[in-house]
Amino acid sequence: MVLIDGKATANQIKNEIAEEVKAIQSKGERAPHLAAVLVGNDGASLTYVGSKVRSCEKVGFDSSLIRLPEETTEAELLTKIKELNQDDTLDGYIVQLPLPKHIDEEKVLLAIDPKKDVDGFHPSNFGRMALELETFIPATPFGIMQLIERYDIDTQGKHVVVIGRSHIVGRPISILMSQKGAYGNATVTVAHSRTKDLKSLTQQADIIVSALGVPGFVTADMVKKGVVIIDVGITRVEDASKEKGYYITGDVDFDSVAQKASFITPVPGGVGPMTIAMLLKNTLLARKWNA
Ligand code: GUN
């Protein structure tokens, strides 16, 4: 069994990005600049955004954290977005999701200039991805594809079962893995809450990508020997015995499933760190494409 080390791979990618930043600066040009907009005080979002900003510093990017209060209106947020679209010192930005309930997420994502949409969430970027055109690939599926590539996992003609059909992970990864190419050409099944007899599907799967957010959902009896497991679940489970008051766990019952797997990503330290590395990669691409 090979434990896929997302943390080490993400650090490797960050080092590669840092080298490129040095090369940009040696030409007398400014460093790439990423901004993150965070509305409200959601604990997990604060942690993620903080981590994104710290990673920018690590690779030599400029970064801006724009914090807006929970009561920010949709109109106010849209005004801010217009400002960011016009800011020439900014290569890319993200609006951290979820947004407070009174703000229409779809409207906000549509307002982001696709050229600065380093999350790849704008419909035109998502459409470009589906059509295999050059674009920003959403960071989490982009990170999964990088792990598959860097660990040279064979996907040709393999049966992939994706659990979850979210716009951020399940849907895009199903598109990417079925595309033509070296780490594509898979036959993909997208399973979701209405899927019947999920177990019979996962038992046939060569590769399982679980993006559900239910701790311990994938158990050893659901998988065949030699399966590749990509666990995208990141759930905070309250636990008073931990310093932070919680621990982080994935969708997969790691200890039992690892016994049968050929490759497996841990949580934490698997897909999570890759997401941030690929956001930085997209910002670097924005810098190149918009130059
Ligand atoms: N919330 C959870 N994941 C993401 C992400 O990749 N980007 C943004 N903007 N919000 C998120």
Render 164-178 in DSSP notation, one character per residue.
---TTTHHHHHHHHH
**Mean pLDDT of all residues belonging to the chain:** 98
Nearest atom within ligand 1 for CA of residue 98: 1
Give the chain's domain count: 2
- Is residue 193 scored above 90 in pLDDT? yes
Domain annotation covers residue 125:
no
Residues 180 and 144 in one domain: yes
Domain annotation covers residue 95:
yes
Residues 166 and 252 in one domain: yes
Tokens representing residue 231 in the block: 């666990």
- Is residue 222 scored above 90 in pLDDT? yes
pLDDT at res. 235: 96
Whole-angstrom Cα distance, residue 15 to residue 83?
Answer: 31
Band of the pLDDT at 282, cuts 50, 70, 90?
Answer: very high
> Which of 113, 130, 157 finishes a domain?
113
> Which of 96, 113, 130 finishes a domain?
113
Residues 156 and 71 in one domain: no
Mean pLDDT for 168-197 is: 98
Told to judge if 52 belongs to the known catalytic residues of this protein, a careful annotator would answer yes
Strands 2-3 and 33-39: unpaired
Q: What share of the chain is helix, strand, coil (3-state, %, to 5)?
A: 40, 20, 40
Nearest Cα to 275, choosing from 140, 125, 121?
140
- CATH code assigned at 48: 3.40.50.10860
Residues 159 and 261 in one domain: yes
Residues 62 and 96 in one domain: yes
pLDDT at res. 81: 98
Do the beta carbons of residue 239 and residue 215 sit within 8 Å?
no
Domain annotation covers residue 249:
yes
In tens, the pLDDT along 64-109 reads: 999 999 999 999 999 999 999 999 999 999 999 999 999 999 999 9
Band of the pLDDT at 249, cuts 50, 70, 90?
Answer: very high
110 DSSP assignment: H
Residue ranges making up the domain that contains 88: 28-113
Nearest Cα to 199, choosing from 166, 221, 230, 232?
221
pLDDT at res. 87: 98
97 lines ligand 1 (CB under 6 A): yes
Residues 233 and 155 in one domain: yes
Residues 109 and 143 in one domain: no
Domain annotation covers residue 20:
no
Band of the pLDDT at 27, cuts 50, 70, 90?
Answer: very high
Ligand 1 centroid – CA 226 distance (Å): 31
- CATH code assigned at 255: 3.40.50.720
- Is residue 237 scored above 90 in pLDDT? yes
Give strand pairing partners of 159: 187
Ligand 1 centroid – CA 96 distance (Å): 5
Domain annotation covers residue 284:
no
Residues 100 and 199 in one domain: no
Told to judge if 96 belongs to the known catalytic residues of this protein, a careful annotator would answer yes
Given 5, 14, 91, 96, the catalytic residue = 96
Residues 103 and 169 in one domain: no
Given 52, 80, 116, 281, the catalytic residue = 52
pLDDT at res. 169: 98
At 188, give phi and psi (nearest 5°). Answer: -110, 130
Domain annotation covers residue 145:
yes
pLDDT at res. 206: 99
Whole-angstrom Cα distance, residue 272 to residue 248?
Answer: 11
Residue 216 CB coordination number (10 Å): 16
Give the C-alpha distances (Å, rounded to integers) separating 53 from 117, 191, 268: 16, 34, 19
119 lines ligand 1 (CB under 6 A): yes
Mean pLDDT for 186-197 is: 98
Domain annotation covers residue 164:
yes
282 lines ligand 1 (CB under 6 A): no
Domain annotation covers residue 84:
yes
In tens, the pLDDT along 44-54 reads: 999 999 999 99
Residues 198 and 80 in one domain: no
Tokens representing residue 228 in the block: 């590749």
- Is residue 134 scored above 90 in pLDDT? yes
- Residue whose CA is closest, atom 8 of ligand 1? 96
Mean pLDDT for 164-169 is: 98
- Is residue 291 scored above 90 in pLDDT? no
Mean pLDDT for 264-268 is: 98
Residues 221 and 103 in one domain: no
Told to judge if 62 belongs to the known catalytic residues of this protein, a careful annotator would answer no
Residues 98 and 147 in one domain: no
